[in-house]
Amino acid sequence: MIKSVRFKNLRSIRDSKPLQLTDLNVFVGANNSGKSSILYGLLLLSMTLQDKDESMAMITATPEMDLGTYLDLVRGSRQDRKLSASIEFDKGVQLGALSFEKGSQASQVEGYASFTVEFEMDPQTMTPRVHSFSGQDERGKRLLAIRRKKDLSWHITGPAPHALEHLSVHLNNFVPYLVLHGPKPKEAIAGDAALRSIASRIQMSNLANRFSGMRYVAPVRERIHRYGNIGEMAHSELVPSGQNLLRILAAPSQRSPNDRTVIRELDYWLGRRFKLLKNVRLRDIDTANTLKSLVADDRHGNSAVNLAFMGCGISQLVPVIVQTVLLPKGGCLLVEQPEIHLHPKAQADLADLFIEQVKNGHGQYLVETHSEHFILRLRRRVAEGRIAPQKVRIFTVAKRGTATEITPHELNERGHFDAWPEGFFEEGFEEAMAIARAGRPSLVQEDDD
């Protein structure tokens, strides 16, 4: 799980300061306040580390997601500004023991418990490159740090400094690893140099694996297709906009952490929990079982209705449910506006979807929302004792001038904020007061009559 994040010069964020995360993290604020920036920062790191092109320091666009260019991401679109990300995980990880010679004392290899990477624009190629990287273990001990010097060579620091002069820096995306180079080192330090090189490769691979469980749901999802061609493929990954949905639902190998098929999970949530549909299932269209449609019985007695012809809210809700229940154990789900096109009751029920996953220890969730009903259900469940207040954190996001400020807020055991956030969903109260004020003259007139 990600324990804390910090971004500098990301979009409208000057410095987010370290944001302590928990299991369920909710970001609220006005339009264009920068609510999605933290999600995009994490998505940027994940997209980069999961890309097959290891030569790219930063991947800003894939066929499924386009975050723009480096200049779109760096604050003020300033070419001379550096963009940085600092991530701390909830715990370190022991990656094994290495020894250079048989019978020698083994060295423990620890994974990065935290790291900071700083990007800059290469003025020659006009592409982003790494300016610095620093990785630490869970005690804060530096495992490896590099910084680009004015002559573009690397300054390297870390354990076994006597061995570092025999190692050169290579990059796998933005994560460094060390390679032996130059004249063969003396026997006394050859083992340390080899160990440092191997350890850095293991640490690099482990860091990429830590982001492999990150998933993202886009704010606008595709409408469910009338039918889907399942074909020969057993399954594929559900992309942020909800594509490949029918293929995912048809794959028996795709199972939730509860060891239930996805279609069974979808039937449970749409039926028993949201109470929108019943008997959600896939129906064969052809005899070869390659064309399928998603159908369900509605609450008005209609049977086998194709979900493609139901309200837009259903199409927006289904990918959120599917991606949530498919999140691998220990994964992290980034969700934008899960409540879009949903009735207030369904918006509130969405909170229960995430709460149940958290209670079962299935993953970590970062949700960006405009829904007051979602927040109210979270607070209610905390007050009811259904989820511990420590497992929920709400962040208010606001613009101060041109810069985004992000403020964390804790809930107490009664579901209340210890300090009520300034401007937090005040619109309902203000509208009610305006109605009351507007109604006063008519009341006075009626009394006079």
Mean pLDDT of 336-357: 96
Confidence (pLDDT) at 232: 47
Of 309, 326, 343, which closes a domain?
A: 326
Assess if residue 348 is contained within a domain.
Answer: no
Same domain membership, residue 314 and residue 201: no
Q: What is the pLDDT of residues 354-375, one digit of tens each?
A: 999 999 888 999 999 999 999 9
Confidence (pLDDT) at 427: 76
Q: Over the chain, what is the mean pLDDT?
A: 89
Same domain membership, residue 166 and residue 135: yes
Q: What is the total count of domains within the chain?
A: 2
- Which of 167, 155, 162, 161 has its CA nearest to residue 200? 167
Residue 99, pLDDT above cutoff 60 = no
pLDDT band at 234 (very low <50, low <70, confident <90, very high): very low
Of 291, 326, 361, which closes a domain?
A: 326
Assess if residue 181 is contained within a domain.
Answer: yes
Assess if residue 434 is contained within a domain.
Answer: no
Assess if residue 426 is contained within a domain.
Answer: no
Confidence (pLDDT) at 97: 58
261, β-bridge pairs: 255
DSSP H helices, 81-220, are: 161-164, 187-210
Q: Which segment of 255-264, 276-285, 304-313 scores lowest on mean pLDDT? A: 255-264
Same domain membership, residue 300 and residue 204: no
Assess if residue 74 is contained within a domain.
Answer: yes
Confidence (pLDDT) at 236: 59
Tokens for 331, please give them: 């994964």
Same domain membership, residue 193 and residue 89: yes
pLDDT band at 430 (very low <50, low <70, confident <90, very high): confident
Q: What is the pLDDT of residues 114-165, one digit of tens each?
A: 999 999 999 999 999 999 999 999 899 999 999 999 999 999 998 888 888 8
Assess if residue 119 is contained within a domain.
Answer: yes
Assess if residue 357 is contained within a domain.
Answer: no
Same domain membership, residue 298 and residue 155: no
Confidence (pLDDT) at 162: 84
Of 210, 242, 263, which closes a domain?
A: 210
pLDDT band at 96 (very low <50, low <70, confident <90, very high): low
What is the DSSP track for 195-232? HHHHHHHHHHHHHHHHTTTEEEE-SSPPPPPS-EE-TT
Mean pLDDT of 370-388: 95
Same domain membership, residue 259 and residue 155: no
Mean pLDDT of 103-112: 70
Same domain membership, residue 127 and residue 72: yes
Mean pLDDT of 27-32: 92
Pairwise CA distance, residues 83 & 11, whole Å: 9
pLDDT band at 9 (very low <50, low <70, confident <90, very high): very high
Residues of the domain holding 263: 223-326
* 101 phi/psi in degrees, rounded to 5: -125, 150
Same domain membership, residue 197 and residue 69: yes
Q: How large a percentage of the chain has pLDDT more than 90?
A: 67
Q: What is the pLDDT of residues 59-91, one digit of tens each?
A: 999 888 899 999 999 999 999 999 999 999 987
Assess if residue 94 is contained within a domain.
Answer: yes
pLDDT band at 317 (very low <50, low <70, confident <90, very high): very high
Strand order from edge to edge, sheet including 214-217:
214-217, 331-336, 363-368, 24-29, 392-400, 403-409
Q: Which segment of 64-78, 193-207, 418-432 scores lowest on mean pLDDT? A: 418-432
Q: pTM for this structure? A: 0.90
Same domain membership, residue 174 and residue 48: yes
Tokens for 155, please give them: 């300054």
Mean pLDDT of 272-301: 92
pLDDT band at 350 (very low <50, low <70, confident <90, very high): very high
Confidence (pLDDT) at 231: 64
Residue 98, pLDDT above cutoff 70 = no
Confidence (pLDDT) at 193: 87
Q: How many CB atoms lie within 10 A of CB 375?
A: 21
Same domain membership, residue 166 and residue 58: yes
Same domain membership, residue 273 and residue 150: no
pLDDT band at 259 (very low <50, low <70, confident <90, very high): confident
Same domain membership, residue 229 and residue 204: no
